[in-house]
Every structure is written in structure tokens, then in C-alpha cells.
Amino acid sequence: MWPKLDCPWCGKDVKSPANLGTRPSESGLRWYQPTLSGRSFVHPVSVCPYCSNPVKTSQRAQRWILLVVPFFVASLVNLTTFPEFSVPTWAVWVLGVLGVIGGILVRATTRLEKTSVT
């Protein structure tokens, strides 16, 4: 059903982003990454389960998840406003379907990319 999620290093099918392993990064944190009380800590890196080379998911595919945002905004409006003003039920359902479509598009367009070995 889903397109193959091939490792860019070894070419084997990972099947799902959940199958990616993790390992500590060999490089330190960048200047813009947060630290705990001034100490630098090692952040995890996603790796292929077959060849253990570092990979990342494509950022272009992650943009589809923005289709979920209107559903959460409508739900927040319904929870925080008075009963006189609420988003119609049919609109919440339509926004929910739009969010599910966004989730499906994220998985359908996700690809793995190489990252630096450090």
C-alpha cells in the first residue's frame, strides 16, 4: 500500500520510519540547539536498521502535516468559547477528514535522505 522507504546508503526497504534505529551523535550540539544547564548532551540520530548509517526523513513531506492545524484550531475554539459561538459540527468533520488526508500524504511522500556521518 505505501511506497517503499529505501535507505539511501544501502538501498534496502526500511518499511516504516518507526523501524529506524537511533544512536548518539558523534558531533556536539550546534550553537542554536538547547543545552541543559550549560552542559552539552549527546542528541540521538536516526540510523538505518541494516547498515547503521545516519538518515533523516525529507522535510518536504512533513509540510503536509499542516493540514491538521485547522482541525485543532476549530477544536480549540469549540472548547474555549461560549456555546453561542461554535464551529459547526459538519465543519469539524470536514477539517478532521482534511487532517487525515494530510497524515496519509505525509506517509506517502516521506523519503529518507543521507545525513553527514558525524
Helical (H) or strand (E) element with 69 = helix 69-80
pLDDT number for residue 28: 61
pLDDT digits (tens, 9 = 90+) for 63-109: 888 999 999 999 888 888 877 778 888 999 999 999 999 989 988 88
Who contacts 98 (Cβ-Cβ below 8 Å, separation ≥6)? Answer: 67, 68, 70, 71
- Tell if the pTM clears 0.75, that is, is over it: no
Strand partners, 24: 44
* Best CA proximity match to 20, nearest among 41, 3, 5: 5
For residues 69 and 26, what is the distance between their CA atoms, to the nearest angstrom? 35
Q: Distance (Å, rounded) from C-alpha 63 to C-alpha 58?
A: 10
